[in-house]
Structure 1
């Protein structure tokens, strides 16, 4: 199974202009893009709470899908995170995916009362959390899990989400890539942290791990977050002209099998998103044909 290529834009959860996230989200939807991503950094004073904001934005839209990038697991217990995502899935008719991460910025997390974890502990906790979330979505009665970091003892799940609600993992290291490929529904790397020079190796690790787990890599969502600007010709990836953007995205689809792209403009967000939606995305879809 080959998944269609999705396109979206990031909307910063900044509250200085209270209605800015809603304006941008409506722009994304009206432009025909598929996804809106929202950063989840609860310790950032300039940011709204991501889940509250997503709920507000979802109620004001009809078609676009929302993805936290990525839900801050150390500050959001997985059983409650599972319930939050399932609730939004039901209320929005399936317009949410659970972007999930192991955590970072541990000083800030600890300042809000969260745990401080080593890299190894963070991955172990994430693996346990995925198990907890799956159990909470299972529809079974009195689910139980006993792990090092997380425990549930006879919890009754509900509501039951749609089959389309998935977990998309922000992952870079070998252990995280293997976990994403074997246990989740998608992968959310970012160009800023995984450039084109390293993307091929990471995709190969991901695909190999998926096959080892008995899964078809082509059936998993692979969304590349693209920080950049659309403008004059440039030698830097994702900082050039429309034609350069089109060529680079088409190449990433064909060469590496990525099947989703979310634009994170470095500046001038409304105009940049408009150009991405009106000029880049249609040209990419035309070039890719049925896959796009």
Structure 2
């Protein structure tokens, strides 16, 4: 069981410091948002930094924690460029990179809806799937090619390969119980679960775990994540919040405070450390 902290915001100097503090406090992973410009009535424009540069700074300040974006909107990125960015980060961190991926908050991020990016779910899903196929080939260090509806890659070899083998772990968003979404998850290394209708429950996580065990053909490790908020000053209550999800089968608890971006409060929670289950 691992515990991650999603840093909801901060300035470009503070976020790498938070990552180092999270490592010192016993967290197992540190994650940051991938956005270009959040611009909605509820969330006016605020600071958004490039995730790969920030994650590089975070890698330089840490030695143990897993690092990654939460969630990478890869439909708007050129796959071969993304392959080099993620491979480089994997090498810099000595194999501590993971890649959670999804369609992106297209209606909230001006980096989608104000610049002409693909907005339909179907279109973004198709772009994401092709991008993942190209990443898988590029990270291998072997010759690969790709011929799709959106991307065309002639036979090529990108060196060096990723440190992690067979690849950098990919955790797609999986919408339960939507069959097409869940079939995508089976091809990769983990799931960031969402529910088609209603709120996710531990029983849903248990069903997802059973579905994966019954249908996944790969023998590599598979992670199930869930995010929420626990009080750092009340260990018993924190344990009570997390325990049902652990019992249901998650492998990562993600401490997420998306609505609280006050740096002092976020840093205090980081320093209090992850919830502990006896």
Query: For this structure pair, what is the TM-score category when the shorter chain's length is used for normalisation?
Result: 0.7 to 0.9
Kindly indicate whether the alpha-carbon contact (under 8 Å) linking 1:13 and 1:53 is maintained by their aligned counterparts in 2. no
Does the 8 Å contact 1:39/1:50 carry over to 2?
Answer: yes
Instruction: Tell me if the contact between 2:192 and 2:224 (Cα under 8 Å) persists in the aligned partners.
Output: yes
Give the whole-Å Cα distance in 2 for the aligned partners of 1:213 and 1:21. Answer: 36
One of 29, 41, 56 as aligned partner of 1:35: 29
Q: CA deviation at 1:69?
A: 0.7
Query: Could you tell me the TM-score, scaled by structure 1's length?
Result: 0.79
After TM superposition, the score normalised by the length of structure 2 is: 0.83
Q: Check the 8 A contact 2:4/2:254 in 1, yes or no.
A: yes
Choose the corresponding residue for 1:262, options 254, 260, 265: 254
- Counterpart in 2 of 1:247? 240
CA displacement at 1:133 relative to structure 2: 1.1
Q: What is the total number of aligned residue pairs between the two structures?
A: 259
1:185 aligns with 2:182: no
Does residue 1:115 correspond to 2:118, yes or no? yes
**Which residue number in structure 2 is paired with residue 8 of structure 1?**
4
Q: Displaced runs of 4+ in structure 1, greater than 6 A?
A: none
Question: Against the structure 1 CA distance between its residues 161 and 194, is the aligned structure 2 distance closer, same or farther, given a 3 Å change threshold?
Answer: farther
Alpha-carbon offset, residue 245 of structure 1: 1.9
The whole-number CA distance in structure 2 between the counterparts of 1:206 and 1:30 is: 31
Would the alpha carbon gap of residues 76 and 14 (structure 1) be closer, same or farther in structure 2, given more than 3 Å must change?
farther
Give the 3 Å change call, closer, same or farther, for CA 231–202 of structure 1 in structure 2.
Answer: closer
Structure 2 alignment gaps of length 5 or more:
39-45
User: 1:48 corresponds to which residue?
Assistant: 49
Tell me what 1:271 maps to. 268
User: What RMSD in Å do the two structures reach over aligned CA positions?
Assistant: 2.6
Q: 1:9 to 1:104 in 2, by over 3 A?
A: same
Query: More relative contact order in 1 or in 2 (CA 8 Å, sep 6+)?
Result: 2
Show structure 1 runs of 5+ residues with no match: 233-240, 288-292
Question: Structure 1 or 2: larger helix share?
Answer: 1
* Aligned-partner SS, 2:4: strand
Residues 231, 275 of structure 1: alpha-carbon distance in 2 compared, 3 angstrom cutoff: closer
Equivalent position SS for 1:153 = strand
